[in-house]
Structure 1
Amino acid sequence: MTEQLVSEDKLTPTSLTETLQSLQQKGLPPVHDWNPGFCGEIDMRICVDGHWEYMGSPIGRESMVRLFSTVLRHDDDGHFYLVTPVEKVRITVDDVPFVAVSVETVDEHLVFTTNVGDKVVLNQQQPLRLSDAGRGVPYILVRDRLEARIHRNVYYELVSMAELQMVHDQEQLCIKSGEHYYSLGMVE
């Protein structure tokens, strides 16, 4: 990938950009099925608050961030990569790549929206987890080992709808989505 792909004032069509846009129009690309050669690391970073940077500068084009987010993959080696059928480049992710910025109830299910527009239904396939042995930051699985950190404001909204439940002989604050309860942490 070249600097041209993320430069705001000189975005030029390239085969990679055209490929990504074509794939985006068809839905999420099957990045987990692609096995291109590793092309190295680029100076792209996803910060804890969810904003993306290239060479230390924020990527200001929301559409470009959304496009890159569709070809993001978290591999078994613990690293994050932008992947196309012909390229695989490593990027830096400070925590997790996404932030859940809102939540709404739809047909008795909690639906989160991420900073890049993904909609995630809290269910057993896309569960909630807490860091630090059930006492820390909440995360939700978005897709294929890619998680979203629950934004603080969204967390407080979840707390306001939570109820106390006994889980493994511990009193926990839980939220319900569909027929299942998910813990927001132990009550001390």
Structure 2
Amino acid sequence: MTDIDKTGNLLAQIPKGEGKGLPPVHLWNPDFCGDIDMRIARDGTWYYMGTPIGRKAMVKLFSTIIRRDDDKYVLVTPVEMVGIQVDDAPFVAVSLQADGTGESQVLRFVTNVEDEVVAGAEHPLRVELDAATEEPSPYLHVRSNLEALVHRNVFYQLVELAVTRELEGKAWLGVWSSGVFFPIAPQPD
């Protein structure tokens, strides 16, 4: 991955798959080659050497070889691994389609790199509250230990779909997807 030109073009070879699925980055354990000046901003914009990577195909390619090892994000090929900076989450959930209602509702999200994710037991939703501002930051599990920050407009859609359910003796607002209830916030008194 050290072979990236100034416009963010990947020069190293990544094995071509059969057009199905993602590269098996979890199986690749090459030597760590250091950190590179690549950053994913909170809004999902990818930067290389301080400049946004404008080629969507390049961003999509990089998004297939990202991995999180503990709290460190890396881009991995079979021959090298480099560290990158991620401001919040590597993906952003930018659209939502809700099918059905109640416990049989299914929530389908699309990320900024066009990954489609159905919320459920394998892809849970969670909401963190900022301790100082109490502003919610909702996340959707995408794959392995990688998440998407749910865009504010999409979060508003979730809130519109929210229903009340009692959890551990307290009323919560939340949404159903694939038979799983995901709490968003305690029901105001």
CA RMSD of aligned residues (A): 2.0
Preserved CA contact (<8 Å) 2:67 2:146: yes
Cα gap change, 1:24 to 1:57, in 2 (>3 Å) = farther
Answering whether residue 26 of structure 2 is matched by residue 25 of structure 1, we say no
Does the Cα contact within 8 Å between 2:171 and 2:186 map onto a contact in 1? yes
Residues 52-95 of structure 1, C-alpha deviation per residue, up to 9 Å, x if partnerless?
A: 0000000000000000000000002x100000111100000001
More displaced stretch, 101-110 vs 47-56: 101-110
- What residue identity is the alignment partner of 1:81? V
Q: CA deviation at 1:177?
A: 0.8
Q: Pick the aligned partner of 1:34 from 28, 38, 51.
A: 28
2:110 to 109, 113, 118: 113
C-alpha distance in structure 1 between counterparts of 2:155 and 2:65, whole Å: 28
Mapping for residues 104-143 of structure 1, pairs under 5 Å = 104-106=97-99, 108-132=105-129, 136-143=136-143
State the Cα distance separating 1:25 from its structure 2 match.
3.1
Distance in 2 of aligned mates of 1:87 and 1:142 = 24
SS at match of 2:93: strand
* Secondary structure at the counterpart of residue 85 of structure 1: coil
Describe how 1:1-188 pairs up with structure 2 within 5 A.
Answer: 1-4=2-5, 7=7, 11=9, 14=11, 16=12, 18-19=13-14, 22-23=16-17, 25-76=19-70, 78-106=71-99, 108-132=105-129, 136-188=136-188
- 1:103–1:112 Cα contact (<8 Å) kept: yes
Task: Give secondary structure in 2 for the equivalent of 1:25.
Answer: coil
Is there any run of 5+ residues in structure 1 with no aligned partner, and where?
none
| Matched positions, count | 180
1:123 partner letter: G
Q: CA deviation at 1:106?
A: 4.3
Distance in structure 2 (CA, Å) of the matches to 1:180 and 1:127: 8
With normalisation by structure 2, the TM-score equals: 0.88
Same amino acid, percent of matched pairs: 46
Q: Does the CA-based 8 Å contact 2:130-2:137 persist in structure 1?
A: no
Listed as ranges, the gaps of 5+ residues in structure 2 are: none
Q: CA deviation at 1:99?
A: 0.5
Deviation of residue 26 (structure 1)? 3.8
- In the alignment, the residues of structure 1 paired with residue 89 and residue 119 of structure 2 have an alpha-carbon distance, to the nearest angstrom, of 17
Q: Indicate the SS of the match to 2:30.
A: coil
Contact 1:50 1:99 survives alignment (8 Å): yes
Q: Is the 8 A contact 1:172 1:185 kept in 2?
A: yes
- Measured in 1, the distance between the counterparts of 2:81 and 2:89 equals 19
Which residue type is aligned with residue 125 of structure 1? E
Measured in 2, the distance between the counterparts of 1:23 and 1:7 equals 25
